[in-house]
Amino acid sequence: MSETAMTRREWLLTDRPQSRLQARLGRAYVTWRRFAANRLAVIGMLIILGLIVLAIFAPLLAPYSPYVGDLAKSRLLPPDAAHWLGTDDQGRDILSRLIYGSRLTLQVVVLVAIIAAPLGLLVGTVAGYAGGWVDAVLMRITDIFLAFPKLVLALAFVAALGPGIGNAIIAIAITSWPPYARIARAETLTVRNSDYISAVRLMGASPWRIVLRHIMPLCISSLIVRVTLDMAGIILTAAGLGFLGLGAQPPLPEWGAMIASGRRFILDQWWVAAMPGFAILVVSLGFNLLGDGLRDALDPRGSSQ
């Protein structure tokens, strides 16, 4: 480590931050150190970073077109030097399809997180802070959504909206916000009567301002952990919908749909179903490891400082 790095480190770890920025950076640095100490979590993060790189550079990385294959000549070829992961029943290169499929997977995960997490956060904090009948109504709606198995409810939504990757994302988002609402509400209940909230209220802040500026930020860390841990579930749900033919439309290389079309060859051409299955496994594992690491790093209760 160089001299400057040492000083920068000291600057970050100082007990008396000179500015708000320094305090925040210092806090982030501590969190990162705790996270980086967990080797599995780093592996998970690398997997996810790898997925993102694959998605961004798919056209450069994929050796063949993911959509066009040669039905007559290259159908169901086993893995070899030309096709590292073999070819599928339309003669398309499975590796190329997996690489392009990472875009869909990422798209699903990101969009679901963007839709479901804020929705759950809003519902939960409002319910927790307002209490009374608002709380009762919002939580009973949440209960109703929680009463259905996630995949079955998503299936019903997709059936109503029509198949397609966009509708699958909406369906998954609609079904995955209730747990976030529950978490946000629980967090809100623990802080709503604390002194600093009362202080803000005495200063004349509106309920909306209190919820948005003073309660939500406190709920975010536990929410991030939960969302990351749910990513694996979201990928599996998306894959499940694809498997049932209700997710991505052909010829999109959605991993679940790829497994579905490879299932017919499972006894003799195992690689057609196994490769996308393996991809789903690796990415789900990556998100789980990352989520675990994040929980350890972000959870203030678990901190030993």
Partner 1 sequence: MNRETITVRVRPLLAGAAFSLLLASGGMAPAFAETPADTLVQAWAIDDTITLDPAESFELSPAEFLGNGYDMLVRLDIDDTTKVKGGIAESWEVSEDGLTYTFKLKPGIKFASGNPVTAEDVAWSFERVVKLDKSPAFILTQFGLNGDNVTEKAKAVDEGTFVFTVDKAYAPSFVLNCLTATVGAVLDKKLVMEHAEARTPSDEYKYDTDFGYGWMKTNYAGSGPFKIRDWRANEILVMERNDNYYGEKPALTRVIYRHVKESATQRLMLEAGDIDVARNLEPGDFEAVSKNADLATTSAAKGTVYYISLNQKNENLAKPEVREALKYLVDYDAIGATLIKGIGEIRQTYQAKGVLGALDASPYTFDVAKAKELLEKAGLKDGFSVTFDVRNTQPVTGIAESFQQTAGQAGVKVEIIPGDGKQTLTKYRARNHDMYIGQWGMDYWDPNSNAEAFTSNPDNGDEASVKTLAWRNAWDIPELTGEVKAALLERDNDKRAEMYKKLQQQALDTSPFVMIFQQTEVAGMRGNVKNYKLGPNFDTNFLAPVTKD
Which positions lie near partner 1, rule CB under 8 A?
67-69, 71-72, 75, 77-80, 89-90, 162-163, 244-246, 249-251, 261, 264-270
- Asked if 35 and 293 touch (Cβ cutoff 8 Å), the reply is yes
Looking up tokens 């290169």 gives: 93
**CB 247 → partner 1: shortest distance, Å?**
9
Looking up tokens 């749909």 gives: 257
Angle formed by the axes of helices 94-130 and 255-262, nearest 10°: 130
Residues 180 and 223: their CA atoms lie apart, in Å, by 7
Q: Residue 3 corresponds to which tokens in the numbers above?
A: 């001299």
**CB 103 → partner 1: shortest distance, Å?**
19
Comparing CB distances to partner 1, the nearer of 6 and 71 is 71
**CB 150 → partner 1: shortest distance, Å?**
21
**CB 17 → partner 1: shortest distance, Å?**
57
Please state the length of the chain: 305
**CB 202 → partner 1: shortest distance, Å?**
59
- Closest to 71 in 3D by CA, of 57, 49, 96, 88: 88
Comparing CB distances to partner 1, the nearer of 33 and 263 is 263
Comparing CB distances to partner 1, the nearer of 45 and 241 is 241
**CB 102 → partner 1: shortest distance, Å?**
21
Comparing CB distances to partner 1, the nearer of 10 and 268 is 268
Phi, psi at 131, each rounded to 5°? 65, -165
Q: Where are the alpha helices (DSSP H) in 210-266?
A: 216-243, 255-262
Comparing CB distances to partner 1, the nearer of 90 and 221 is 90
3-state secondary structure of 27: helix
Phi, psi at 85, each rounded to 5°? -110, 15
Across 162-179, b (16+ Cβ under 10 Å) vs e yields: ebebebbbbbbbbbbbbb
Comparing CB distances to partner 1, the nearer of 60 and 267 is 267
